[in-house]
Structure 1
Amino acid sequence: MILSRTATTFAPPVMEARRWLEGVDFPTERPLINVSQAAPVDPPHPDLRAALAEAALNSDAAHLYGPVLGDPALRAELAARSTRIYGAPIDPAQVAITSGCNQAFAAAIAALCAEGDEVIVPTPWYFNHKMWLDMSGVRSVALKCGADMLPDPALAAALITERTRAIALVSPNNPTGQEYPSSLLRAFFDLAQERGIRLIVDETYRDFHASAEPPHTLFSQSGWDETLVHLYSFSKSYRLTGHRVGALIAASALLSEIEKFLDTVAICPGQLGQHAALWGMQNLDQWLAGERDEILARRAAISAHMPRLENRGWRLLGLGGYFAYLEHPFAMTSDALAPELVREAGILCLPGTMFHPHDDPQGGRELRIAFANLDGDGIAQLFDRLDAVALPPR
């Protein structure tokens, strides 16, 4: 039987996890703690919402088709901001706006890969990247991370074949939270440049990086645009998840190929979302700095609470961005443990099996906690409940 493209991959993990809530009651004194999805639940800044409303009411263009590669003013603003962040010149012609960062990845793969090609993806992987590669007929080549949750360029080099078209990295990482050191990203860039393949770097969570220094120097490398494909999202930074606004920075020649994909799939990014992203970049720097400080405070709270779980056999494998990645101490595998945590602890999180190849037992020992929507008290309650879980140990 010939499979459809969608039948080549698995069901959306977050939607699968939500089904675990069916038939479960959460008493008032112990409401559900939902740490399954890395998305802000609060609405955008009030002034940004007002700017959106004003555009909806008074800008005719906000309701019409726009350029396939995005609004020129937004492309120029992102190019200028990226130039300031990375200390290297980026031209607006090297920027495309997409309907979310997932679409940016999909567009890049469509422009770079043919049926049967390969992309090297570190594991634990971001499941939507894996899903799109499956549906594109592109083989995901698993690059297993070390105990520090960082991929090794030397191991990646050994995986490159004549069908390899790219290496795809996410930093700060989803699902582990690890921030890849600048030197590591440079090593992967050098490898990709030397072997004539692309390096895709997804920096969706860049604005919540713990360091005040530039995340990397890749845009300063000679001929960067012939190797690097940079992905970014406005969704987390400006609370615009429902508006689907992402971006891609690469060689203008590659963007010409990507334009074909975008025109066919969406014609253009949503105009109101682009308006919001532009207004946010122009007006909300101080507010965004406060958002970063709050995320870093929650990250610190995770670290402060971990010792009591470590005493019971838990391990913190990665922390950063929106995520804490944990190794649990129980005999059952994480795909059985995660639904059990819903019923017994009122916690909805994702099992590590969703981030690994199905034949890799490592995923059965891991859980992803998306902590960005928990304040300090919520994080304390999360650890109280995890500490109270009584199951047979491994």
Structure 2
Amino acid sequence: MPAPTTRTFASPVVEAKSWLQGLTFPPERPLIDAGQAAPADPPPDALREVIAQAALGDPAAHHYGAVLGQGPLREALAANISATYGGTVTPGQVAITSGANHAFCAALAALAGPGDEVLLPTPWYFNHKMWLDMAHITTLPLPCGPGLIPDPQEAAALLTERTRAIVLVSPNNPTGAEYPPEVLAAFRDLARERGIALIVDETYRDFTATPGAPHGLFADPDWDDTLIHVYSFSKSFRLMGHRVGALATSPARLAEIEKFIDTVTICPTPLGQIAALWGLENLGQWVASQRDEVLARQSAMRDAAPALAEAGWHLRGLGGFFAWIEHPFPTDATTVARALTGEAAVLALPGTFFSPEGDAMGRAALRFAFANLDAPEIGQLAARLVDFKGP
């Protein structure tokens, strides 16, 4: 049997970054990097000071900690989730992980094994697909329609006795789509009816365009019999390198997840948890200001849409840090993306990185991440796309 890692594809981000090798970009036309959705700026100064003080003055910051995370952070996050969603979440239903990807892998390790199935809407988040491949878990692709919202009824027709979970990402990576509360509720009902888990990855929760609670799933007093909520502090507090994320689910599932975390990382990093706790307690207004900036970037992308459409580029999805844009060329998106890098000094990821092989939607579109692009730079991005003559 082949090694698990050989069952999946190479890291799409690493592959895309390799396209830059040997290229130079003059100062008057610098690279516009819309490839990765990670803010380039460090955390705010006050948070960096907290990290520095902990590193110098708190010996426990360098020791092993509790496998499921530090108690004060679990308490604070449980309170935050309860307040954000208008539900009831206890610290015993929360675990801290080494990033959101770790949370996803830990959840799947407690749910499914070789020969089991997990449903992923397409376009999918490629790291989710990579983990399922490596774990010998079959992926059930659920194609999204033109609105990029998965259909619960279509999902129901795909589920089998081997299906163990449905995975949703909202706001979505890669399309930016925000799933309506009623859609999420319908998927919850479907998962509960079939006796399987609903994993909702809300890494970009703090950057939704719709005000108020993203959904009402936590208002259900029995939410933890079905829902597994995945969250990340990376984007909200710019703690990418500290690898601190979280999940919320039932205490029974956490007991199984604890085994995985103890085996893989032993515990989440103490410094990252110290930073996340301070952020939850002190950076609410700052995060709100970051959301305003992200919404301004979405607005700039929306303003550019008519000019893009005239040149054959069609904005199909927008939200979070992402724009999902169909290209006007007869060739596949990978060829278009590579040509964009060299000829237009624009790095974006092709839809083929987020889709099954041969998928028409993936071949036709690219994902543009604007985590590090302000409104003028988005205007420049649009101008370069309009001027691009194709591969």
- Asked if structure 1 preserves the Cα contact closer than 8 Å seen for 2:198 and 2:226, the reply is yes
Structure 1 stretches of 4+ moved >4 Å:
none
Q: Map of 1:29-40 to 2, 5 A cutoff?
A: 29-40=28-39
- Hey, what's the Cα distance between the residues in 1 that align with 2:243 and 2:255? 21
- Hey, what's the Cα distance between the residues in 2 that align with 1:59 and 1:259? 25
Asked if 1:336 corresponds to 2:332, the answer is no
- Give the aligned partner of residue 318 of structure 2: 319
Structure 1 residue identity aligned to 2:75? A
Aligned-pair CA distance for 1:196: 0.5
Worse-matched range after superposition: 214-223 or 69-78: 214-223
Aligned-pair CA distance for 1:7: 0.1
Aligned-pair CA distance for 1:138: 0.4
- Give the aligned partner of residue 196 of structure 1: 195
Structure 2 residue identity aligned to 1:120? L
- Give the aligned partner of residue 287 of structure 2: 288
- Hey, what's the Cα distance between the residues in 1 that align with 2:50 and 2:219? 35
Residue by residue, what CA displacement relative to the aligned partner does 1:57-115 show, whole Å, maximum 9, x if unpaired? 11111000000000100000000000100111100000000000000000000000021
Aligned-pair CA distance for 1:391: 2.6
- Hey, what's the Cα distance between the residues in 2 that align with 1:181 and 1:73? 32
Give the secondary structure class of the aligned counterpart of 2:317: strand
Aligned-pair CA distance for 1:370: 0.3
Residue by residue, what CA displacement relative to the aligned partner does 1:148-175 show, whole Å, maximum 9, x if unpaired? 0010000000011000000000000000
Q: Map of 1:258-297 to 2, 5 A cutoff?
A: 258-297=257-296
- Hey, what's the Cα distance between the residues in 1 that align with 2:257 and 2:272? 20
Aligned-pair CA distance for 1:222: 3.9
Structure 2 residue identity aligned to 1:255? L
- Hey, what's the Cα distance between the residues in 2 that align with 1:336 and 1:210? 32
- Asked if structure 1 preserves the Cα contact closer than 8 Å seen for 2:95 and 2:254, the reply is yes
Aligned-pair CA distance for 1:359: 2.6
Q: Map of 1:101-140 to 2, 5 A cutoff?
A: 101-140=100-139
Aligned-pair CA distance for 1:318: 0.5
- Asked if structure 1 preserves the Cα contact closer than 8 Å seen for 2:88 and 2:221, the reply is no
Aligned-pair CA distance for 1:332: 1.7
- Hey, what's the Cα distance between the residues in 2 that align with 1:377 and 1:212? 26
- Give the aligned partner of residue 80 of structure 2: 81
- Give the aligned partner of residue 181 of structure 2: 182
**Identical pairs, percent:** 59
- Hey, what's the Cα distance between the residues in 2 that align with 1:110 and 1:152? 26
- Give the aligned partner of residue 297 of structure 2: 298
- Give the aligned partner of residue 58 of structure 1: 57
- Hey, what's the Cα distance between the residues in 1 that align with 2:240 and 2:265? 17
Residue by residue, what CA displacement relative to the aligned partner does 1:159-217 show, whole Å, maximum 9, x if unpaired? 11000000000000000000000000000000001110100000000000011110001
- Give the aligned partner of residue 223 of structure 2: 224
- Hey, what's the Cα distance between the residues in 2 that align with 1:360 and 1:47? 46
Structure 1 residue identity aligned to 2:372? N
- Hey, what's the Cα distance between the residues in 1 that align with 2:252 and 2:318? 37
- Hey, what's the Cα distance between the residues in 1 that align with 2:153 and 2:216? 20
Asked if 1:239 corresponds to 2:238, the answer is yes
Aligned-pair CA distance for 1:254: 0.1
- Hey, what's the Cα distance between the residues in 2 that align with 1:311 and 1:181? 30
- Hey, what's the Cα distance between the residues in 1 that align with 2:88 and 2:186? 21
Give the secondary structure class of the aligned counterpart of 1:211: coil
- Give the aligned partner of residue 145 of structure 2: 146
Structure 2 residue identity aligned to 1:97? I
- Asked if structure 1 preserves the Cα contact closer than 8 Å seen for 2:351 and 2:362, the reply is yes
Structure 1 residue identity aligned to 2:10? A
Task: State how many pairs are aligned.
Answer: 391
Asked if 1:157 corresponds to 2:146, the answer is no
- Hey, what's the Cα distance between the residues in 2 that align with 1:197 and 1:295? 34
- Asked if structure 1 preserves the Cα contact closer than 8 Å seen for 2:118 and 2:166, the reply is yes
Runs of 5+ unmatched residues, structure 1: none
- Hey, what's the Cα distance between the residues in 1 that align with 2:250 and 2:122? 27
Return the TM-score normalized by structure 2: 0.99
Return the TM-score normalized by structure 1: 0.98
Runs of 5+ unmatched residues, structure 2: none
Aligned-pair CA distance for 1:50: 0.3
- Hey, what's the Cα distance between the residues in 1 that align with 2:358 and 2:30? 35
Give the secondary structure class of the aligned counterpart of 2:237: coil
Structure 2 residue identity aligned to 1:341? L
Structure 2 residue identity aligned to 1:64? H
Give the secondary structure class of the aligned counterpart of 1:50: helix
- Hey, what's the Cα distance between the residues in 2 that align with 1:113 and 1:308? 46
